[in-house]
Structure 1
Amino acid sequence: MARVRYGARTEREIAATRTASARLPRIWSTGVVAVWETDPDAVAAVLPPPLKPTGSPLARVNISTVDLPGYPLGAGSFAVAAVHGTVEGWYPLVMPMTQERALTGGREVFGEPKKLGEVTVERDGPGVRAALSRHGIAFVEVQGTVGGELPLPEPSRKTDFYFKFLPAVDGSGLDTDPVLVHCVRHEQVRRLERITGEVVLRESAYDPVADLPVLRLREITIGEKTSDQSGRVVERVDAQALLPYIHQRYDDPLQILDAPPEGSS
């Protein structure tokens, strides 16, 4: 009988997968990062407990193309500054990805709020445009002009906060208590340039980042970097406390009540 590919993998195949995963090459990305001061009340409103605002109401968007072997990847993140206990970091609200492989792995392993979307990073001479788009809406767009190279920062350690959970089978609540994950990234930059420009936030019912307006732009940069990441569960979270925020992970569930597209049968 020919091999049934959906059947169980052999121990040798499982070991080979683990070995390959442990020997990933250094992967570099080219990305635009913008940081700005926003409404402190809006930041507080989007943070599920036990996360709290930091002393600075900051929002950050990262829009990158990643040199993955075999296929290109567009990756984005829109996050706000947050603190858990004594650990300061970033809490991403939405992370558009252009490939399902990146989406499923990040959501199922780390609890990242990844969604399929379009990610654009374009450079024409000194002109730069980067955007995150879903449902036909470029809900974040960064555009500007490169103004010169910046000193390279030292290798750094950064923390993102994620909530890992699964909606209940019966459609009510969650299957088990969710967990809070600290995802630590060690980042190295090999090129960094300043951009003079603007951040445009457009209205989107599915990605309402426009509620975190640009009140004072801190910086826009474009650079090349590489990083690794590791996560750990730091505590279990009360499901009832997290339930009001799970729409951050998924598009509005009320969309199932939408009428069919005009002209459809």
Structure 2
Amino acid sequence: MGYRRTPEEVAAVRATLADVEFVGGESLSVDFLTRPEIVRDILPAELDPGAEPRLTVQVSRWRSNCVGDFAASAVYVSASHAGVAGDYVLTMFMDDDVPLLFGRDLYGEPKKIGTSTLWRNDGHMSGVLERHGHRLVEIEADLGPDRGPVEVLGRNFNVKYELEPGGGALAGPPTLMMAEFGQRTTVVRKGPATLRLTGTVHDPLDELEVVELRDAVYVETGMKATCVPLGAMDADAFLPLALGRSDYWPALGTARLPG
């Protein structure tokens, strides 16, 4: 074991990443409709808006065979590519650097560090995302009876890219990625929900206008993950969205050199 992996260790890494599993998952999510122009503005040009201007906010916790245990939150946007429906991952928050690096480096997921928490009190469920002292997401739901089990295939669109050191351009064309998640869900509970989104200059979730809020969905699930590249994208067109995935660096200055 070391900074130069042995052939046996390389083979072990390949075997693990070829059979990725996330298990013991608990997820509380809520869908809402927003204005169509908001969806078009936050989607890359290579993706079409979904059948309706739907966004999904999710707070969850997981175990895995590759990145340990972690809690996460995410915002998804209904989208499609070449007639294949899925969700574009607008932003994601992990509570540890290991799942952050896995998803960002391998799948192109737009991950940041944040604290996600789920609480359950009989039929009432709460999900909260906090980052840098700001509570960005609050979901409250009153859940009905279990409707599981069910098997579903989830599909996410992400983008892999590199910024040039000066930040003014991308280092080559980005790559549109598609991740698929074969889920075996044992518990499904639904019920009315409330959703509160706040924002900062780094995480402007409050700009996602809620026009129609739908019921919350709580699941207990496990899933296998795979990911494939779909093709190159327009680097200039994606640059503003790439910079929007990061924190706003001009607001993070704490000092300057004299003179």
- For 1:83, the aligned partner's letter is S
Partner Cα separation in structure 1 for residue 102 and residue 19 of structure 2: 17
Give runs of aligned pairs for residues 36-115 of structure 1, distance below 5 A.
36-68=32-64, 71-115=68-112
Closer, same or farther: CA 51–23 of 1 in aligned 2, 3 Å: closer
Partners in 1 of 2:160 and 2:198 — Cα distance? 28
| Amino-acid identity (%) | 27
Paired position in structure 2 for 1:200: 196
Note the C-alpha offset of 1:145: 1.9
Counterpart secondary structure, 1:205: coil
Query: Where does 1:1-265 land on structure 2 (aligned, <5 Å)?
Result: 5-6=2-3, 8-22=4-18, 27-68=23-64, 71-153=68-150, 155-257=151-253
Report the residue type matching 2:92 in the other structure: M
Amino acid in structure 1 at the alignment position of 2:191: I
- Pairwise CA distance, 1:190: 0.4
Q: From the superposition, tell whether residues 10 and 73 of structure 1 become closer, same or farther in structure 2 (CA, over 3 Å).
A: same
Secondary structure of the corresponding residue to residue 188 of structure 1: strand
**Which amino acid in the other structure matches residue 168 of structure 1?**
E
In 1: Cα distance, 2:77 partner to 2:21 partner: 30
Please, which runs of 5 or more residues in structure 1 have no aligned partner?
261-265
Structure 1 residue 172: deviation in Å?
3.0
Q: Residue 27 of structure 1 aligns to a residue in which SS? A: strand
Say which SS state the counterpart of residue 13 (structure 1) adopts. helix
CA distance in 1, matches of 2:19, 2:157: 26
Secondary structure at the residue paired with 1:147?
coil
Contact 1:201-1:213 within 8 A present in 2 as well = no
1:263 aligns with none
Q: Considering only aligned residues, what root-mean-square deviation do their CA atoms show, in Å?
A: 2.1
One-letter code of the match for 1:186? G
Shift of 1:194: 1.6
1:134-163 deviation line (CA, Å, top 9, x unaligned) = 12111111012222222433x222211111
Partner of 1:149: helix, strand, or coil?
Answer: coil
- Normalising by the residue count of structure 1, what TM-score does the alignment of the two structures yield? 0.88
Displacement of 1:110 in angstroms is: 0.9
Larger gyration radius, structure 1 or structure 2: 1
Structure 1 CA distance, aligned partners of 2:199 and 2:13?
42
Deviates more, 1:172-181 or 1:17-26: 17-26
Counterpart residue identity of residue 75, structure 2: F
> Residue deviations 1:88-108, cap 9 Å, x none?
111111110011110001101
TM-score by length of 2: 0.90
Instruction: Kindly provide the CA deviation profile for residues 14-53 of structure 1, in whole angstroms up to 9, marking residues without a partner as x.
Output: 2233344456666120110111111211111111111121
Aligned residues: 255
Equivalent residues of 2:126, 2:140 under 8 A apart: yes
| Secondary structure at 2:45 match in 1 | coil
Provide structure 2 residue ranges, at least 5 long, that are not aligned to the other structure.
none
Query: 1:94, 1:248 within 8 Å by CA — same for their partners in 2?
Result: no
Distance 1:13 1:38 in 2: 47
- Cα deviation for residue 112 of structure 1 reads 0.3
Equivalent pair of 2:56/2:76 in contact (CA under 8 Å):
yes
